[in-house]
Amino acid sequence: MIELKKISAGYDGVKRIEHIDLCLAPGSFTAIIGPNGCGKTTLLRVMARLLPPYDGEIKIGGKPAAEYEPKAFARLVSILPQSRDIPDITVEGLAAHGRFPYLGFPRRLGPQDRDAVERALEITGAAAYRSRYLRQLSGGERQKAYIAMIVAQDAETVLLDEPTTHLDIGRRFEVLELAHLLHRAGKTVVLVLHDIAEALEWCPEIVVMEKGHIRAQGSPETVFDSGTLDQVFGVRSQRIGGHYFFQALSSSSKSS
C-alpha cells in the first residue's frame, strides 16, 4: 500500500503539485492522466523518491518512504522515467541492472538473478536482440529493453511514465499488455498516459490531474460520467460501447 497525504512538491521552491492525497492499494492498476504540465511526472518522481516533497507524507507498507534504505526501497518501487540517457550498454546488460538492488559488493549475478534476467528478456521480447547496444535500437525496441530492466527488478510497485509515447499502435499495445502482465503477477502498477481513451480502456483506476491537483479519481466509468475530462482537457467526449472518443471543441463551441 502506498499512501500519500497532503503532498506538495516542485522545483526551486515553486510548488507544482499540491494537496495530493492518494492511496494505491496493493495490486491496483492506475492511470494518471492530465494536460501537459499539470504535474503527473512530478507526482511519479515523488512516489519514486527522486524528488523530496516540500510537505506531506508518503508511507509504503505503513512505514515512511524516507526510512527505507536505498536497496530496500528499490525492491519496493521501480520507475521507468519519461526521459532517459542511452548508456553504452547491451540490452542484456541493462536488464541485469534491474538486479542491482539484490546484489552485494562486488555486483555479481547469482543463479536466481540470471533466471530473473532471462525471464524478463523473454517476457518483453527483448531476448531477440539481447546482445545489441541500446544506441543501435529503435525507440520501441529500446522501450522494451528498459521494461525488461523493470521486470528484472521485480519491485512490488511499478511506475511507468508515458511508456507508450512515441510508439506505434502495435508497440503501444505490447507495452500495455506487459503492464497488464505485471499487474496479473500481483504488482501495483501506475502509468502516466497521454491517450485518454487508452487510459480508460486499459486501466481500472483513473486519476485525473489538473494544475497540480487531483481533480477526479475512480473507475473509468465514474470519471467519464462526471464530465471532468471534458472540462480538464477542453474536449467533447463520447462513449460508444466500451470505447471512448474525444473530439476537440471548435472555437465557436468553446465560447458558447
How far is the C-alpha of 11 from the C-alpha of 8, rounded, in Å? 11
Residues 6+ apart with CB under 8 A from 173: none
Residue given cell 502495435 in the structure block:
170
Pick from 39, 53, 98, 163 the residue near ligand ATP by CB under 6 A. Answer: 39
Q: In degrees rounded to 5, what are phi and psi of residue 8?
A: -130, 145
User: Of the listed pieces 30-38, 94-102, 110-118, 144-152, which binds ligand ATP according to CB under 6 A?
Assistant: 30-38
Question: What is the grid cell recorded at 153?
Answer: 527488478
How far is the C-alpha of 114 from the C-alpha of 125, rounded, in Å? 16
**C-alpha pair distances (Å), 138 with each of 100, 168, 191:** 26, 12, 22
Pick from 28, 30, 42, 164 the residue near ligand ATP by CB under 6 A. Answer: 42
How far is the C-alpha of 248 from the C-alpha of 229, rounded, in Å? 12
The maximal CA–CA distance of the chain, rounded, in angstroms, is 66
Contact call for residue 34 and ligand ATP (CB under 6 A): yes
As measured in angstroms, the least distance from the Cβ of 42 to ligand ATP is: 3
Nearer to ligand ATP, 123 or 191 (CB): 191
Nearer to ligand ATP, 124 or 228 (CB): 228
Name the residue type at position 217.
Answer: Q
**C-alpha pair distances (Å), 103 with each of 7, 48, 72, 92, 112:** 32, 20, 11, 17, 11
Nearer to ligand ATP, 40 or 142 (CB): 40
User: Of the listed pieces 33-41, 54-62, 71-79, 152-160, which binds ligand ATP according to CB under 6 A?
Assistant: 33-41
Contact call for residue 105 and ligand ATP (CB under 6 A): no
Contact call for residue 41 and ligand ATP (CB under 6 A): yes
As measured in angstroms, the least distance from the Cβ of 50 to ligand ATP is: 11
Contact call for residue 153 and ligand ATP (CB under 6 A): no
Contact call for residue 38 and ligand ATP (CB under 6 A): yes
As measured in angstroms, the least distance from the Cβ of 18 to ligand ATP is: 11
Strands (E), the chain: 2-11, 14-24, 29-33, 55-60, 63-64, 77-80, 157-161, 188-192, 205-210, 213-218, 235-240, 243-248
Contact call for residue 76 and ligand ATP (CB under 6 A): no
Contact call for residue 22 and ligand ATP (CB under 6 A): no
Contact call for residue 53 and ligand ATP (CB under 6 A): no
Contact call for residue 188 and ligand ATP (CB under 6 A): no
As measured in angstroms, the least distance from the Cβ of 72 to ligand ATP is: 26
Pick from 37, 139, 204, 234 the residue near ligand ATP by CB under 6 A. Answer: 37
Give the neighbor-by-neighbor strand order of the sheet with 29-33. 77-80, 157-161, 188-192, 29-33, 205-210, 213-218
Nearer to ligand ATP, 38 or 123 (CB): 38
Task: Give the footprint of ligand ATP on this chain (CB under 6 A).
Answer: 11, 16, 34, 36-42
